Structure 1
């Protein structure tokens, strides 16, 4: 039997025929009609078995047998086998699509944390999260990834979302300043490889290891605790130690900060110099979770590493422990904490320095 015939026989077996039935049927297709012995020789089916094989094919409606000195056979209903193969083909096509769909599904899910196998799945989720953003986006991207996400980032900027971009890769491919101005609040360049990270509104996280990693997977999380851990990874490793490439943040009041610690670093020297700093805090009350707006004078910065020796540290790491800003209001002093505040009166979403006098 030739290679092509062997392939056809194998496919007919996958369509439900036995190996002997498939071989005999292929031989009949070539012979047209023939005696049982001729079919046996052409198909390599043993002579004692060929009669049972032909009768089984006849019972299934694929061939018909007739007597002409001896038993003969011919193909009786071609549509029957072709329809059966077409039905199998549809099932195989469905199986192919199902395999692809299941591969793209999250491989594991624990609460709101999902592990996936394709970068595209994480990237598409990140795009959707940015499109839903209302407050803040922190992202670590290559220039190419930035280009793909630029429309979503630009729309978020138009909605008033604060966006920090850490861009890594080829410096020659860095987006132009004018492009960045329409798509982020501030951008920094990191020359080292970095993972794909997108943090949205302090709860949604999308993460894929950098391209040189031996592990190929992605993580999608909708959980404040996991997002908080990656926020500090982003802030300390991908953001704070790298030079500013573009900033659209104001240099003079009013200046809005999306994080308390960035604000503390900026206003602490002003308070130490005895200047009056007026602020507006947008956030939530920690005891009820309800939104709040606090207007008053920044009175005092307190944080875990506060000391004469540490204060000269210009990085945000100096404020990594507990950090609190006390604001005096018409109703008395209010303690304000950063992301995840529990012991303070309020948690900051945004804080605006209205004036420094």
Structure 2
């Protein structure tokens, strides 16, 4: 390494330019007077004494009197150790910068594992109270009672709530009047279920059922994970439950948070030539911005529809489910949760008017 490069590195390690220059000169001379060090380096004569005292204070050199002030380098062991530690920190910093650059931001995408069920329920309660669009909950009786005030508040705010209850065989069923205050649809079963709360397609609170050997909870703030938990809820829990309360109101306007349910209901109408007008609230797929628009449904795309038949439970099948809507300005395609090939992901579809042919 050239002298100039070594001097620059020492400056990076915290020495001033004069200190680095003087120290390299002392290393080359071995031992020398302050005057000689100043002559062989670029340190001005008036500054050399202050520079040498600072180097001595930092442990780089020692000074001694021999007719005049002299200096010699200490054993470089401590200096080398300091430089190597600094090098390690720089390398660690470089690795950390690379990791943070490659990793997605965790500001809105977080996964937390917790030990206490109360922590999961506290988070679920907070999220349910903040819900704007839809909530899906699977809970036992005790968990339900804990969350009931939050569910009531969300229901009063117009949030669509699916509630799956785990009730013992000898437990009395909640009254329909009580359930009408907390949920849009309620089902139950006696087989133990894990606790799960899904809120607005972004937040998930999960814990294994009480008979599980695993005692932990998971709190997730991420749309992709919420989508996976949604299908677990629908296929693994909701489908195996018995109805207690169904959304049987056929009056208009009628809201849907599940595009497949919407397609199931409007498909026969479209087949009969009816004009179906809707309002869509959702997200523009490309930009992620929220939107709201009105239009007329002119087509639906659901490859499983004809094969399954309108009486089959095709609502819970995967694959494409798209509604084509003609607005005043353009014709757009609307998908459901996780839409990627459509123009918009619908968070709510409001059936405003049906005009029969």
Q: TM-score with structure 1 length normalisation?
A: 0.65
Bigger drift between 231-240 and 246-255 goes to: 246-255
State the alpha-carbon separation in 2 of the partners of residues 228 and 111 from structure 1.
13
Deviations 1:236-284 (A, max 9, x none): 2222453321134522322101121221121112212222221111112
State the alpha-carbon separation in 2 of the partners of residues 254 and 241 from structure 1.
30
Stretches of structure 1 lacking an aligned partner (at least 5 in a row)? 1-109
Given that 2:165 and 2:189 are in contact with CA atoms closer than 8 Å, whether structure 1 keeps it comes out as: yes
339, 343, 346: which one aligns with 2:337 = 339
Q: Give the CA deviation at 1:151.
A: 0.7
State the alpha-carbon separation in 2 of the partners of residues 273 and 214 from structure 1.
54
Q: Secondary structure at the match of 1:244?
A: strand
Q: Secondary structure at the match of 1:205?
A: strand
Residue 164 (structure 1) aligns with: 162
- The answer on 1:227 being equivalent to 2:215 is no
Bigger drift between 165-174 and 226-235 goes to: 165-174
Residue 123 (structure 2) aligns with: 125
Q: 1:240 to 1:257 in 2, by over 3 A?
A: farther
135, 138, 143: which one aligns with 2:136 = 138
Q: Give the CA deviation at 1:194.
A: 0.8
Q: Secondary structure at the match of 1:151?
A: helix
Deviations 1:278-303 (A, max 9, x none): 11111121122222112111111112
- The answer on 1:151 being equivalent to 2:171 is no
CA RMSD of aligned residues (A): 2.0
- The answer on 1:356 being equivalent to 2:346 is no
Q: Secondary structure at the match of 1:316?
A: helix
Given that 1:240 and 1:316 are in contact with CA atoms closer than 8 Å, whether structure 2 keeps it comes out as: no
Residue 326 (structure 1) aligns with: 324
Residue 255 (structure 2) aligns with: 256
Q: Within 5 A, what are the aligned runs for 1:230-245? A: 230-245=229-244
Q: Within 5 A, what are the aligned runs for 1:268-283? A: 268-283=267-282
Q: Within 5 A, what are the aligned runs for 1:166-181? A: 166-170=164-168, 172-181=171-180
Q: Secondary structure at the match of 2:304?
A: coil
State the alpha-carbon separation in 1 of the partners of residues 288 and 330 from structure 2.
20
Q: 1:200 to 1:111 in 2, by over 3 A?
A: closer
Q: Give the CA deviation at 1:337.
A: 0.6
Residue 216 (structure 2) aligns with: 217
State the alpha-carbon separation in 2 of the partners of residues 355 and 243 from structure 1.
31
Residue 205 (structure 2) aligns with: 206
Given that 1:140 and 1:198 are in contact with CA atoms closer than 8 Å, whether structure 2 keeps it comes out as: yes
State the alpha-carbon separation in 2 of the partners of residues 176 and 124 from structure 1.
26
Q: 1:249 to 1:352 in 2, by over 3 A?
A: farther
Bigger drift between 258-267 and 165-174 goes to: 165-174
Residue 42 (structure 1) aligns with: none
State the alpha-carbon separation in 2 of the partners of residues 283 and 306 from structure 1.
24
Given that 2:305 and 2:314 are in contact with CA atoms closer than 8 Å, whether structure 1 keeps it comes out as: no
Paired residue total? 248
State the alpha-carbon separation in 2 of the partners of residues 341 and 155 from structure 1.
29
Given that 2:304 and 2:314 are in contact with CA atoms closer than 8 Å, whether structure 1 keeps it comes out as: no
State the alpha-carbon separation in 2 of the partners of residues 242 and 309 from structure 1.
22
Q: Give the CA deviation at 1:164.
A: 0.8
Residue 48 (structure 1) aligns with: none
Given that 2:136 and 2:198 are in contact with CA atoms closer than 8 Å, whether structure 1 keeps it comes out as: yes
